[in-house]
Amino acid sequence: MPQEDHVYSYSAVLMGSPILLKLFQHNEHLAHQVFRLIKHYENLLTVNRSPSEVMNINHAAGLHPVVVNPAVYQLIKCAKAASLLPNSAFNLAIGPLVKCWKIGFQGSSVPPAGEISARLALTSPHQVILDDEQHSVFLAQAGMELDLGAIAKGYIADRVRDFLHSQQVFQGLINLGGNVQTLGGASQVSGTPWSVGLKKPFAGPDELIGVIEVEGKSVVTSGTYERWFEFAGKRYHHILDPRTGYPLDNELHSVTIVSQDSIDGDIWTTLMYGMGVEQGCACLANKPGIEAIFVTKDRRVVLSSQQLFTFTLQDSSYQLV
Ligand code: ADP
Ligand code: MG
Identity at 222, one-letter amino acid code = S
- The Å distance, Cα 204 to ligand 2 centre, comes to 21
Backbone angles phi, psi at 269, to 5 degrees: -60, -45
Q: In whole angstroms, what is the distance from residue 292 CA to residue 219 CA?
A: 10
240 DSSP 8-state letter: B
Q: In whole angstroms, what is the distance from residue 49 CA to residue 65 CA?
A: 20
Percent residues over pLDDT 70 in the chain: 97
Q: Mean pLDDT for the chain? A: 93
pLDDT tens, 187-208? 877 789 999 999 999 898 899 9
- The Å distance, Cα 150 to ligand 1 centre, comes to 4
Ligand 1 binding pocket, CB closer than 6 Å: 89-91, 94, 98, 104, 147, 149-150, 178, 222, 226, 238-240, 242, 266, 270
Distances (CA, A) of 17 to 104, 222, 236: 13, 14, 21
> For residue 205, what pLDDT is reported?
84
Helix (H/G/I), strand (E/B), else coil: 187: coil
Q: Is 87 left (phi over 0), alpha (psi -120 to 50) or beta?
A: left
pLDDT tens, 121-161? 999 999 999 999 999 999 999 999 999 999 999 999 999 99
Q: In whole angstroms, what is the distance from residue 86 CA to residue 188 CA?
A: 44
| Residue-wise DSSP of 248-266 | --SSEEEEEEEESSHHHHH
Q: Looking at the predicted structure, is the pLDDT value of residue 104 above 80?
A: no
- The Å distance, Cα 245 to ligand 1 centre, comes to 13
pLDDT band at 50 (very low <50, low <70, confident <90, very high): confident
**Helix extents (H) in the chain:** 28-45, 53-59, 70-83, 95-101, 113-120, 152-166, 262-284
Q: In whole angstroms, what is the distance from residue 31 CA to residue 172 CA?
A: 11
Mean pLDDT of 303-319: 97
Nearest bound ligand to the CA of residue 48 = 1
pLDDT band at 222 (very low <50, low <70, confident <90, very high): very high
pLDDT tens, 226-285? 787 788 788 888 899 999 999 998 999 999 999 999 999 999 999 999 999 999 999 999
- The Å distance, Cα 100 to ligand 1 centre, comes to 14
Q: Looking at the predicted structure, is the pLDDT value of residue 105 above 70?
A: no
Q: Looking at the predicted structure, is the pLDDT value of residue 5 above 60?
A: no
